[in-house]
Chains A and B, each alone.
Chain A
């Protein structure tokens, strides 16, 4: 695959955000307090949003900040606050040595496997010409290249997604409803 030369500024920033994401993710899995972990996860999501923007996905980057870092993580923090998970018994949650060894082994195997897969040769037949998406974004704006296919080829998936969201809302309400206590028989 031939790449035209990217500016050094671009490459430097891409690596910078990637490193920030990895360091934040490591901090995230090692924090004991759920609130601190959630904050590090927000940091991961912000750096990923920056990487999306650099990869010509400006709209998805915005959605990442608004939906993931904004809405989903707020729900997580809200549940942590609601359940008051700051006790010592809840904080001592790391598993034993054998689980850690198993986790390390599984992660090494997974990493090796993923690298083996990503080094595979990509099919050249479907490759777009260089900078197709970037040119589209420059010509039509950030949203139009995404909205066109979303409401034509993927319209059925879009509508099914709305049914999924409705089911999720109903499920969350049913699960979250406080049941009448069965003590008074």
Chain B
């Protein structure tokens, strides 16, 4: 099932990239990043089946980092919303020349 898993993982990762590139809602972009993390996790699990259990442990750590990232990222989004009253990235252009 290794080849099939890699196929599904590649497609899911690409869908996540397309979401990041084509949306402007910060929360949806953030969820697309989570989708990309999940796609990579599938690759790790598939390789763990043929190369040893270390891949599953890596997925464990990826999940922990994803949880920490979600907490901090959503706090940033809330702080941003307090300042600008929006999460639309085209209205958040303080660093734009």
Chain A residues near B (Cβ < 8 Å): 1, 6, 11, 14-15, 18, 21-22, 25-26, 28-29, 34, 37-38, 41, 44-45, 48, 51-52, 54-57, 59-60, 63-64, 67-68, 71-72, 75-76, 79-80, 82-83, 85, 89-90, 93-95, 99-100, 102-104, 106-107, 110-111, 114-115, 118, 122, 126-128, 132-133, 136, 145-146, 149-150, 154, 157, 161, 164-165, 167-169, 171-173, 175-176, 178
Contact = CB atoms under 8 A, between A and B. Distances in A.
A134 B9 CA distance: 22
B75 A175 contact: yes
Interface of B: 1-8, 10-19, 21-25, 27-28, 30-32, 34-35, 38, 41-42, 45-46, 48-54, 56-57, 59-61, 63-72, 74-79, 81-82, 86-88
A76 B22 contact: no
Contact of A172 (B25, B54, B72): B72
A118 B3 contact: yes
Given A107-B17, A161-B64, A54 B1 contact: yes
Q: Give the 6 A-B CB pairs with smallest separation, nearest first.
A: A168-B68, A103-B21, A175-B75, A29-B19, A114-B10, A93-B24
Given A60-B59, A72-B70, A128-B51, A85 B25 contact: yes
A146 to B, nearest CB: 6
Given A15-B4, A99-B21, 10 more contacts: A1-B50, A34-B27, A34-B28, A63-B63, A67-B63, A71-B67, A75-B74, A102-B21, A106-B18, A146-B57
A133 B79 contact: no
Contacts of A90: 25, 86-88
8 contacts: A28-B35, A60-B41, A60-B45, A67-B63, A68-B63, A126-B51, A146-B56, A176-B78
A79 B27 contact: yes
A95 B22 contact: yes
A89 B51 CA distance: 49
A161 B6 contact: no
